[in-house]
Amino acid sequence: KHLAQLKSLIDSIDPILVSDHLSWSENGGHYFNDLLPLPYTEEALNVFTRNVNEVQEYLQREILIENPSSYVKFQHSTISEW
């Protein structure tokens, strides 16, 4: 539903660029009013790239990804931020 609404908005105003945050805000049907950080792991990277590809295909355009939230560091992160 969210992507359909986003696509409708993009199609109606035809912006030069479209961007979104690299974060998450939902878990198990519960939505959080925050841009929550991701762990820096290969698994998270794979999910992120798959999701970006799916969104770009659905929107039929490239999207920009904004800097990730990084106000906490996950103990199980295996990739450095820098």
Residue 29 lies in a domain: yes
Residue 24 domain-assigned? Answer: yes
For residue 46, being part of any structural domain is answered with yes
Q: Tell me if 72 is assigned to some domain.
A: no
Domain of residue 29, residue span:
2-66
30 domain residue, yes or no: yes
- Is residue 18 in some structural domain? yes
pLDDT given at position 75: 81
Q: Are 40 and 74 in contact (CB under 8 A)?
A: yes
Q: What's the predicted TM-score (pTM) here?
A: 0.81
Residue length, the chain? 82
DSSP symbol at 37: P
In a domain, 7, yes or no: yes
Q: Within a domain: residue 74?
A: no
CA angle (48, 79, 40) in 5-degree steps: 40
Residues 39-81 pLDDT 10s: 999 999 999 999 999 999 999 999 999 988 787 778 888 888 7
Cβ contact 79:45 at 8 Å: yes
Instruction: Quote the number of domains for the chain.
Output: 1
